[in-house]
């Protein structure tokens, strides 16, 4: 299983960044490989959704996820339901430094069912993670 933890200081409020990451319906607008989001169920502090992802030379893949969030603690946890992975967990934590600066802590653990896909993902993961974090930062700058 691939594990990664990233901490970064960003010049936006923690609440603004939390709301951007939680607004998964908008991902196709600015996350390059996300082609479509379907919200299957939304209630109180959880969302069940399917994300459709298209990478170069790979057919569109569907990733079903259960998202739990806590607006008071500014945390978002995602657990994997179905798709090409064996498992996937993500944790976001947003810590306010001041009203215009915050620290994000992003942790991910994933494992593909297919060994070759796992090795490719591990090789390219740093690029994918950088692109994803940059996409969220640009989204915050543009809003």
pLDDT in tens, 102-139: 999 999 887 777 677 667 666 666 677 778 888 888 99
Cβ count within 10 A of residue 52? 17
Report the CATH architecture of 2-142. Answer: 2-Layer Sandwich (3.30)
pTM of the predicted model, to two decimals? 0.85
Which pair of structure tokens corresponds to residue 58? 């790979």
pLDDT in tens, 28-41: 999 988 999 999 99
- The label of the residue with tokens 């947003």 reads 94
């Amino acid at each position: 299983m691939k594990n990664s933890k990233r901490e970064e200081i960003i010049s936006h409020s923690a609440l603004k960044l939390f709301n951007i990451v939680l607004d998964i319906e908008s991902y196709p607008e600015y996350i390059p490989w996300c082609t479509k989001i379907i919200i299957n169920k939304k209630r109180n502090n959880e969302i069940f959704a399917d994300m459709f992802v298209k990478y170069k030379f790979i057919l569109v893949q569907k990733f079903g996820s259960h998202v739990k969030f806590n607006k008071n603690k500014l945390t978002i946890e995602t657990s994997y339901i179905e798709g090409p992975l064996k498992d996937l967990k993500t944790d976001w934590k947003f810590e306010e430094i001041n009203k215009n600066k915050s620290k994000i802590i992003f942790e991910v653990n994933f494992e593909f069912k297919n060994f070759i896909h796992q090795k490719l993902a591990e090789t390219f993961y740093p690029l994918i993670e950088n692109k994803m974090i940059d996409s969220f930062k640009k989204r915050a700058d543009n809003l």
